[in-house]
Amino acid sequence: MATRICAHRIGLLLFVAQFLSANISHAFVSEYRIHNKLQPCVSPTYIHEKSYLLASPVDALEGDNDPTNVCEDGDDDADDVDDDDDDEHDVEDVDTDDEDDDDDDNDNDNDGHEEDDPYLGSYARNEEWLEQATATVLDLEKLPLGSLTPEDISSISGLMSAWVKRCSVEACLTVEQLLKRVVDDMRADNRDAYVTARMYTTAIDAWAKSGVNGAAERAQTIHDGMIAMHNDTGNERLAPTTISFNTLMNAWVKCTDAATAPFSAERVLEQMLTWKGDRVRPDPFTFSTIIDAYSRSGHPNATQRAEELFQLMDTINVKPNVFTYAALQNVYARSGKADAPNKTLGVLHRMLDAYSEGDALAKPNVVSYNSVLSAYSRTPSVESAKKADEFLQKMETSSEDGGWEVEPSRLSYALAILACTKCPDFTFGGDLGEKILNKMERRAIQEEEKRKEVSSAAPASVTLDFESFNVVVFALSKSRAKDAATRMLKIVDRMQKYVEEGFININPNIRTWNAVLLGVARSNVADAPQRAEKILNHMFDLNERGICNCKPDAYSFAAVMNAYQRLGTYESAKRADDILWRMKEMYEKGKLDDPPDAVLFTIVAVGWAKAKHRDSVPRCLRLLSYMMERYAAGDEKVKPSVRTYNAVLESLVKADEPEKAEHLLYQMLSRHRKGDVDVPDAFSFNAVIRAYTRSSFKDAGRRAESVLERFLEFSEDNPSVTPDVRSFTNIIAYYGRTPELLDAPYRAEYLLSRLISLFKGGQKDLAPNSFALEAVIDTYAQHNHPDAGECAERLLRTFEKLRVQYNTNVKLKATTLNSALYAWSSTGDDNAGKRADELLRTMEERYDDGRRDMVPNEKSYYLVLLAWSKSEGQNKAEEAFRILKRMKQRHAEGKLNSVSDSRPYAQVINTCAFTKSDASTELVAFDIAVKVFKEVVQSKDIYPSSLFFGWFLKACGRLHVPDSIRDQTLVLAFNECRKRGLVDRFVLHQLKLSAPEYILRRLLAPCKRSMGEKSSYDYKYAVKLPHLPHEWKRNVRS
């Protein structure tokens, strides 16, 4: 027949696989099944039962059934299948087997079919020829039933293999039609026609490569039908083989959910292990496929199961090859566990050891080394970044110098860069990633120049990688380095230069430019917003010149607006506002693809809120009103978000408009009930609470409490939005700042009790913190409540009990006990000094026992001294002096940081001054005051203040001491004070109260000239501070 296809078959090149050297015992198979809890392999429930649930493949391929039905759910997916191996620039999710796609066993791209047919290359390259040849074979007028020759069968087999390469549903159906064509000839009693396991395997492979839903089930049915046909007819040509099982396994792995794929693959493995005869034995490809499936499954026990499978290979005498090792490495790398790099590196060492012992199949290739780099990139840390850099250097280093002597590929550099740029320390990672990128550039340029010199058509192993440039730019955009923005721009300049030199795939795209904009916006340089805006304009210029993928988008504008927002000034807020409306205008003129959305409006609103200007509130309200109008008109993109409302609320807080803020909050709640606004968050309520607590509004505390109550009611219906501790502490702190409110301490403690009650009721996020406790205690102290000290200690006991019973993280620390000391110092209780001293000793003891957060500071000692000064004890001066000495002793022992503040010394003198007792006791107090005074004025480390001198002068005047001693001491003290230039109103007043008239005349004689000429002076009333010489008061703080 003239139209008959004549194809001379050279012969079948069978798939080379390692077969088992010994049979697997039935006992071992049973043990395997029990250990792995696998069920016997059964046919799954298929999507379309009519198609392939018939008894044999011949029946299954009868014309009564429409095989296209199976693709109804899968057609849309066929073109969307995104194999990681196809995207060489997808560095973020790169697989270590990407480097050698054509040689990767796991892809099953070359399973003994392609090289069998000398015409296959032509078929695959020329689609029209392939389709014409297929149409000829299927045309019964040209090739009637029963007329196929063995040569025709071979050609049909080649056509089937060629269609497989198309990786589509159409290809799968065409392969099945070709197979059916041969089966139909067999039914027409053509003794020359035959079908083979290889042809069924090709049909299975077609479905495996299609990647559509239901493909694995279809492949399983075809394989089961082939087995049934072999069992029914005894035809050895239809006997399943290791290749057919491996191809079926590949279909399950490629075309089912990654989480379940390894379990489906293991069911196929079990069937292989239980198969009788030598034609079906698991080989390295079998295990590579299963282990690789585990690497992609995300299963928590994937690494453990992969190791068990590797052990099984050794048990049944299957030697792993480079691909099996690579699959195991991939399992470790993808696990993301901290030890993944070490585990992956350990596999590499096993390969090297096996190769050195003569196992050629274990020789590592560049993929094996890249797997280690992949593991480093998937375990982000400073250590991983360092190790990745060191590993890459070792790959580049010769074995003579202690290196691996492996030529790194493009992927090697890309993975090392990725490991660096994923480092949590963005500055370190960006620096190291940029260094590797520079090295990659040099290597790529060298290889390209060498290729040109020798006119080589072979691809270079290292090429300029677009994504590597991008990830370094992204890392630098997050870096805190001062020159990060400049370095990013230099990288982009190099990319543009490479494009001019012919490397068109390195052209910066919108992602690159947006990363640069983000980095510039985040930089702390003064002109960052202007630089960002200049880059934005440059992007428009590039786009107008026809450079693809550089047209600014919403992210571009957001970066520029953020740069202005960060400045927090009126001018920057206004500029961001102008850019927003410019963007709207450009969209309306068709120069932009998208209009400003809610995110951009919110950025500008936040900028106005930060500006804290009289125009901030009107501008924020204008933006919000516009968004609400556009949203009401049907524009979903400008629907105000909770963050938009929060920005407006914040502007009202800063403008001291608490009532307007409260009104807006309740408007939010109303719109939320209508579905126009998402759920308000804690910030929304807390902003209004802050607005009241920071205002001078009358009854602000009660109004803030009212908002808090509304918050608590709202959270009952919206459990995801609950008050936090700040909701309470803002109000508590307000009461502490308002001494005119007589009930403030009680309101503060009520709020704390409410907080504790809610926490005990199960709201664990409301665990009271130390700030809440300290704020309540401070409120008692600031109001000079007579029971402040007792209340403070009661609250301390309450919190300690709460910690023990509810295991809270709140520990009493130095700042908390300082608040209690403050409370005792404000009471005026006769026992205040003693009780405060007891708390101080508690702090000292706990610190000495190892509680580093209990270290007393100068403030602690000062507050105890203040408590003693307000006590009525006769020996309070001696007690104060003892505490002062204890403070100095602990400083000498290294348990107190500093004693340079003169306030504790002044407070001891104050305590002495207010000692009321008999003459001998007051004389002791005076002696103590003099000792402290001399110590301070003679010290080189302690700097006395005007207050210090004033208190000492007061002590001289109040205590009953001989006049001569008093007068002499007064003169010395005042002269010292004026010499230091510290005479202020308080010092002058205490001098007038303490010194007799003749001492005043003597000490204040230099003031006579400034007072004018008079016959007599009443120095006690006539001398004022302005009359004193400037030198006496030169160091007084205003």
HEC string for 261-316: HHHHHHHHHHHHHCCCCCCCCCCHHHHHHHHHHHHHHCCCCHHHHHHHHHHHHHHC
The structure tokens listed for 783 are 């109001």
Residue 978 clears pLDDT 60, i.e. is over it: yes
Among left, alpha and beta (phi > 0; psi -120 to 50; other), residue 850 is left
Query: In this predicted model, what pLDDT tens digit does every residue of 253-298 receive, in sequence order?
Result: 999 899 999 999 999 999 999 998 889 999 999 999 999 999 999 9
Q: How far apart are CA 358 and CA 393, in angstroms?
A: 27
Residue 960 clears pLDDT 70, i.e. is over it: yes
Query: In this predicted model, what pLDDT tens digit does every residue of 727-747 receive, in sequence order?
Result: 999 999 999 999 889 999 999
The structure tokens listed for 184 are 């139909």
In this prediction, residue 1016 has a pLDDT band, given cuts at 50, 70 and 90, of: low
What was the pLDDT predicted at 18?
Answer: 26
Q: How far apart are CA 857 and CA 901, in angstroms?
A: 11
- Average pLDDT of the residues of the chain: 85
Phi/psi of residue 288, nearest 5 degrees: -60, -40
What was the pLDDT predicted at 432?
Answer: 96
CB 651 within 8 A of CB 617: yes
Q: How far apart are CA 995 and CA 992, in angstroms?
A: 6
> H or E stretch including 832?
helix 832-848
In this prediction, residue 3 has a pLDDT band, given cuts at 50, 70 and 90, of: very low
Residue 788 clears pLDDT 90, i.e. is over it: yes
Query: In this predicted model, what pLDDT tens digit does every residue of 651-703 receive, in sequence order?
Result: 999 999 999 999 999 999 999 988 888 889 999 999 999 999 999 888 899 99
Residue 724 clears pLDDT 50, i.e. is over it: yes
Q: What is the dihedral of CA 796, 798, 802, 808, to 10 degrees?
A: -30
Query: In this predicted model, what pLDDT tens digit does every residue of 69-81 receive, in sequence order?
Result: 323 333 333 233 2
Query: In this predicted model, what pLDDT tens digit does every residue of 888-910 receive, in sequence order?
Result: 999 999 888 777 788 999 999 99
Q: How far apart are CA 294 and CA 324, in angstroms?
A: 12
Q: How far apart are CA 1021 and CA 1024, in angstroms?
A: 8
Mean pLDDT within 342-362: 94
What was the pLDDT predicted at 456?
Answer: 66
Mean pLDDT within 905-928: 93
Which of the 8 DSSP states describes residue 67? G
Closest CA to 1018 of 1035, 996, 1036: 996
The structure tokens listed for 358 are 């003569």
Q: How far apart are CA 997 and CA 133, in angstroms?
A: 130
Q: Cβ-count burial of 637 within 10 angstroms (0-12 exposed, 13-18 middle, 19+ buried)?
A: middle
Query: In this predicted model, what pLDDT tens digit does every residue of 401-451 receive, in sequence order?
Result: 889 889 999 999 999 999 999 999 999 999 999 999 999 999 999 988 888
Give CA angle at 997 (995, 999), nearest 5°. 60
Query: In this predicted model, what pLDDT tens digit does every residue of 96-150 receive, in sequence order?
Result: 333 333 333 334 343 433 334 443 444 445 788 889 999 999 999 988 999 999 9
Q: How far apart are CA 234 and CA 955, in angstroms?
A: 121
Query: In this predicted model, what pLDDT tens digit does every residue of 827-836 receive, in sequence order?
Result: 878 889 999 9
Residue 592 clears pLDDT 50, i.e. is over it: yes
Mean pLDDT within 781-790: 93
Q: How far apart are CA 1007 and CA 987, in angstroms?
A: 16
What was the pLDDT predicted at 1038?
Answer: 66
| Other Cβ atoms within 10 Å of 322 Cβ, number | 23
The structure tokens listed for 29 are 């198979």
More confident residue, 124 or 532: 532
Query: In this predicted model, what pLDDT tens digit does every residue of 149-175 receive, in sequence order?
Result: 999 999 999 999 999 999 999 999 999
Q: How far is CA 698 from the centre of its chain?
A: 44
| Other Cβ atoms within 10 Å of 53 Cβ, number | 16
Question: Looking up tokens 């499936």, which residue turns up?
Answer: 293
Residue 966 clears pLDDT 80, i.e. is over it: yes
